[in-house]
Chains A and B, each alone.
Chain A
Amino acid sequence: MQRNPILRVEGLRTTFTSDDGEVVAVDDVSFDVNEGEIVGLIGESGSGKSVTALAVMGLLPKTTSHVTAERIMFDGRDLAHASERELRRLRGGSIGMIFQEPMSSLNPVLKIGDQLIEPIRIHERISYRAAFDRGVELLTKVGIPSPVQRMNDYPHQLSGGMRQRVMIAIALSCSPKLLLADEPTTALDVTIQAQLLDLLLEIQAETKMAIVLITHSMGVIAECADKVVVMYSGRIAEQGPVTEIFDRPGHPYTKGLMQCTPELTGNSRRLTTIPGTLPSLSALPPGCRFAPRCDLAQPDCVAGRPPMIAIGKEHASACIRADELVVSAAQPEGAEV
């Protein structure tokens, strides 16, 4: 099925002013999100995933950050060159967003109900009564018991999982076409994480909205996503359909991420770790930024920025040895090990 992109990001670049001068947090990032698709944005903390999402929304502080892009096309509009007023109309309306920290993402002194119906009241001409009823409906939909009572509660009266459900309800309140979910389950207990992911998938199946799911867990990606964008140090390392990426990873970093993920089924093995840490944004290595941590690095890797190489249908990797990797993955690996 050929689907149209609802979000097309081209050449997104984000810089921050810091004590060390200007640092580039997101460097030339391009990806598509098709209608009704779940795209997983994965990478370590500090790889630029959240900044990418916030840049798309225009939510980065204007005083300390600078966002440029060739184009950020959303639903026929170019967000990169839109006015603040146009962006405001989309935020909370056609684009919903969920954040990582449910404990601090709700205003502590306002009632749940007031916070929930706020986007409805901003984006639609609707009476308080009608908006309230819709709020109750939304709370029911996200699985909150006694929703009418909860509307009059304050955030501190709710658990973390419940608060994140409220955040989901807020993001869904104006039936968005695109949901940006920034690590929505990271701060929660494992059992709650699974419940909330199921809830998101359920709602997605029903509403057919597109989701950009930011996470650092390959497990979450495997369970939910149609497509994966792997980010490393502000750049895209690899992107492609989820089955392709898992079967034939074309970047040593993706492979490393997969080997870091424990499996419950199959052979027990020692988890492999990726040595080292993300480079500091103010002291980036030349060429491929993953090269200093890469087993397969060779002198060519530091020569220049590796281009995105197509290695399959909609599958591309920014590794000059991608072809070799894909070939080795296709062969039965580790039979003798």
Chain B
Amino acid sequence: MLAYTLRRIAQAVPILLLVSLISFGIMQLVPGDPAAVLAGPNATPDELIKLRQTLGLDKSLLSQIMIFYGNLFQGDLGYSIILGEPVLKVVLERSPISISLALYSLALTVILGLSIGVIAAMKHNRWIDQAAMTFALIGVSVPNFWLGLVMIVLFSVHLGWLPTGGYVPFFEDPVGWFLAATMPALSLAMMQIGLLARLTRSTMLEVLGQDYIRTARAKGASEPRVIIKHAMSNVLIPVVTVLGMILSVLLSGSVIVETIFAVPGIGALLGNAILGRDYPMIQGGLIFVAAVLLILNIVVDVLYAWLDPRVRVQ
């Protein structure tokens, strides 16, 4: 198990290198002169030269790469052009907001998706099953930005139950955090709930038809015992596999949802950076998000091996 974990961590290193190389390439891929694009059409030649020097664009490609990686290994992601602050500092300030939102969404996805899927499978072909699958289909089909706007109109404007957006730090005011984060988390999670419910239902149906479920019943096991101990332990294997993917979608999907709900998270930060052509910010943010996703995926993989003894030996 330890060897497996270490192996997964080692496999993440080349991926991170590749991502950082791509993010370095962003600056090189801007057509023409990135400094000219950045400074805008009214910039004086002096300003352009200064900007090139700040960005290191006046040096050769090789030395640019060397400087880029040299800084990266020291934890220096450069300075944001718009905010004028170190990228790492800004990213570290904003990321807990997004991560807490993503984890809340994940919790909603797992709790609702799993239970809807399990109940649908247990009531296969009855009205509960059909209702659950209709709900899942709606969840999969409705775009999250539209759902977010509809929820704001309904729950904030008409009913006045929840704030329209913003963010309250969890440790300062947990209730406030909960109220503010519920609509963004739900609109982020809705599609994933639908997908997970469908996956859980079909996996559960398959597992319930397996011989070992019959064996469990032949032992005199009660129905809850059959479902929880014998079926769920097998259903969770494919579910955990997709959790990694779901997490990355929840983190990257937050760009739109954070904008709608005015949540000052990393998604909104990156969105603004892209609109304002803040290249160092885009580069740094990209590397940071990639690193977070890699870590989460390693956690998921380790969890997967813990659940399925057959994976550990490979």
Contacts and interface: CB of A to CB of B under 8 A. Distances in A.
Our verdict on whether A and B bind, yes or no, reads yes
Interface of A: 57, 59, 63, 88-93, 96-97, 99, 101, 104-110, 115, 118-119, 122-123, 154, 156, 167, 170
Interface of B: 124-125, 210-212, 214-222, 225, 229-230, 233-234, 237, 307-310
B240 to A, nearest CB: 12
B220 A106 contact: no
A106 B212 contact: yes
B230 A59 contact: no
B212 A107 contact: yes
Nearest to A103: B211
A69 to B, nearest CB: 19
Contact of A109 (B218, B225, B307): B307
Given A63-B124, A101-B211, A107 B219 contact: no
Contact of A107 (B215, B217, B218, B237): B215
Contact of B212 (A59, A63, A105, A119): A105
A117 B128 CA distance: 36
A251 B278 CA distance: 90
B194 to A, nearest CB: 25
Given A93-B220, A108-B309, A122-B225, 13 more contacts: A92-B219, A92-B221, A99-B215, A99-B218, A108-B308, A110-B230, A115-B215, A118-B216, A118-B221, A119-B219, A122-B221, A154-B309, A170-B215
16 contacts: A63-B125, A88-B221, A90-B220, A91-B220, A99-B211, A99-B215, A104-B210, A105-B212, A105-B214, A105-B215, A118-B216, A118-B219, A119-B219, A154-B309, A154-B310, A156-B309
Nearest to A96: B218
Contacts of B230: 107, 110
A108 B212 contact: yes
A119 B221 CA distance: 8
B216 A107 contact: yes
Contacts of A123: 220
Q: Which among B124, B237, B309 has the highest number of chain A CB atoms within 10 Å?
A: B309
A156 B314 CA distance: 12
Q: Which among A89, A109, A170 has the highest number of chain B CB atoms within 10 Å?
A: A109
A106 B216 CA distance: 9
A122 B233 contact: no
A59 B217 contact: yes
B111 to A, nearest CB: 22
